[in-house]
Every structure is written in C-alpha cells, then in structure tokens.
Amino acid sequence: MTKLLSTYERKMKDAKFKKAHEKSYKDLLFSELMIAVMENDEKSIRKLAKEAHLSPSVIQDIRTGKQRDIKVSNFIHIAHALGYEVILEKGNERLTLQDANKHISVVSSNASV
C-alpha cells in the first residue's frame, strides 16, 4: 500500500515551488527573529529606528516582510542597536563589523579556537 502524500509534500517535490518556499521562509525567519528580540528588549519601532539611524518605515517594512532584501549596512546598524555584533569568520581569521558614528568599519583579529 502506497502512502498518500500530503499537499505540502506534493508541492515540495516541485523544484520551483520548493525554492520560492525556502526563500520566503528565510525572509520570515529574520522578520520573526527581529520582532522577538524587539519585544524581549521592549524596543519600539521608533526607538530601534533612532538607535539604528534608520527611518521607522524601514524597520516596519523589515518587520512585516515588505522589505526582503536588506542592505548589509542596515543589517549591521540594526544588529548593533539590538546589542549584537556581526562577525565574519574564516579559518582562524575573524572580522568584526563595527558600527561607529553611522559608518561601518572592519576590525581584524585571529579567532581563538
């Protein structure tokens, strides 16, 4: 007896549908993560926007998923405003992307492994 596939399972066999689904899911994850961190830190859209040096409409558009392709500089500004650092690692090299006076800079160091 062959098991019947759910609608979701059937749809996920379609490569085009699967790719679109995975992209929208990733967009949703960032939006949901941002909402959760803002709620946990009790930061309003206006307060986060001010601290990140962005327009409140940019923050709102990211939260709702209306803006899906976020500029790296905006991502770094938002991360720092929420108390996070953005770090790139490759092998023993670590690059910390810093947000100082609305400008992004890179600090290089050897990662301690």
pLDDT band at 113 (very low <50, low <70, confident <90, very high): very low
30 against 109, higher pLDDT = 30
Taking each helix axis as running N to C, give the angle between helix 72-81 and helix 45-52, from 0 to 180 degrees, rounded to the nearest 10: 110
Mean pLDDT computed over every residue of the chain: 84
- pTM score, two decimals? 0.68
- Of the candidates 84, 76, 80, which has an alpha carbon nearest to the alpha carbon of residue 51? 80
What pLDDT is attached to residue 105?
Answer: 64
